[in-house]
Amino acid sequence: MAAKVTIWCPSLALVISMLFLTGGCHTPPPSYDVSRPPDRGVLFEYPWFNDQPTGIAVSSENRIFVSFPRWGRDPLYSVAEVLPEGSLRPYPDLSWNSWDKPGGKQPAAQFVCVQSVFVDNDDNLWILDPASPSFKGVVKGAAKLVKVNLAEDRVEQVIVFDEQIALPKSYLLVPSSCDV
pLDDT confidence tier of residue 121, bands split at 50, 70 and 90: very high
pLDDT confidence tier of residue 122, bands split at 50, 70 and 90: very high
Q: Which residue, 62, 57, 102, is CA-closest to 80?
A: 57
Q: What is the dihedral of CA 65, 71, 76, 78, to 10 degrees?
A: 40
What pTM was estimated for this model as a whole? 0.68
Q: What is the pLDDT of residue 95?
A: 92
Q: Tell me the per-residue pLDDT of 138-151, one tens digit each, with 9 for 90 and over.
A: 888 889 999 999 99
Q: Where are the beta strands (DSSP E) in the chain?
A: 55-58, 64-67, 79-82, 88-90, 116-119, 124-129, 144-149, 154-160
Between the alpha carbon of residue 118 and those of residues 29, 37, 57, 179, the distances in Å are 22, 15, 5, 15
Distance CA 176, CA 128 (A): 14
Q: What is the pLDDT of residue 161?
A: 84
Q: Tell me the per-residue pLDDT of 71-116, one tens digit each, with 9 for 90 and over.
A: 888 888 999 999 988 889 999 999 999 877 666 678 889 999 899 9
Between residues 3 and 68, the one the model is more confident about: 68
| 66: β partners | 56, 80
Q: What is the pLDDT of residue 9?
A: 47
Q: In this structure, how many other beta carbons lie within 10 angstroms of the beta carbon of residue 160? A: 17
Edge to edge, what strands does the sheet with 116-119 contain?
116-119, 124-129, 144-149, 154-160
pLDDT confidence tier of residue 163, bands split at 50, 70 and 90: confident
